[in-house]
């Protein structure tokens, strides 16, 4: 499943460089593209954006539910 940044976002920008898929863009709140978010499957053991977020505002996206295999396939599709 992809992740979502909620309204508690402080726009600190810590999540942007942490994302291996460049899925996070500026907005109010910041936005995670669910088509690019793999929850870091394929790159890391856990979502890096959640680790660096000081506001704990990154949560599960309710509309995008994907298995680890689907997330890994998406990662390989993005990175070749």
Provide the whole-model pTM.
0.92
Give me the pLDDT at residue 42, please.
Answer: 97
Helices and strands (H, E) in the chain, number of each type: 3, 4
Domains in the chain, CATH or no CATH each: 3-79 (3.30.70.20)
Rounded CA gap, 46 and 26, in Å? Answer: 22
Give me the pLDDT at residue 16, please.
Answer: 97
| Cβ 36 vs Cβ 23: under 8 Å | yes
Tell me the Ramachandran region of residue 73: left when phi exceeds 0, alpha when psi lies from -120 to 50, beta otherwise. alpha
Mean per-residue pLDDT pooled into runs of 10, the chain (80 residues): 92 97 94 95 97 97 91 96
Give me the pLDDT at residue 59, please.
Answer: 96
């Amino acid at each position: 499943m992809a992740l979502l940044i909620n309204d508690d976002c402080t726009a600190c920008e810590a999540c942007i460089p942490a994302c291996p898929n460049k899925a996070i863009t500026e907005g109010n709140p910041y936005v995670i593209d669910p088509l690019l978010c793999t929850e870091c499957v394929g790159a890391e053991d856990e979502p890096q954006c959640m680790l660096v977020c000081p506001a704990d505002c990154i949560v599960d996206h309710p509309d995008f539910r994907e298995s680890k295999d689907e997330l890994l396939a998406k990662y390989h599709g993005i990175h070749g």
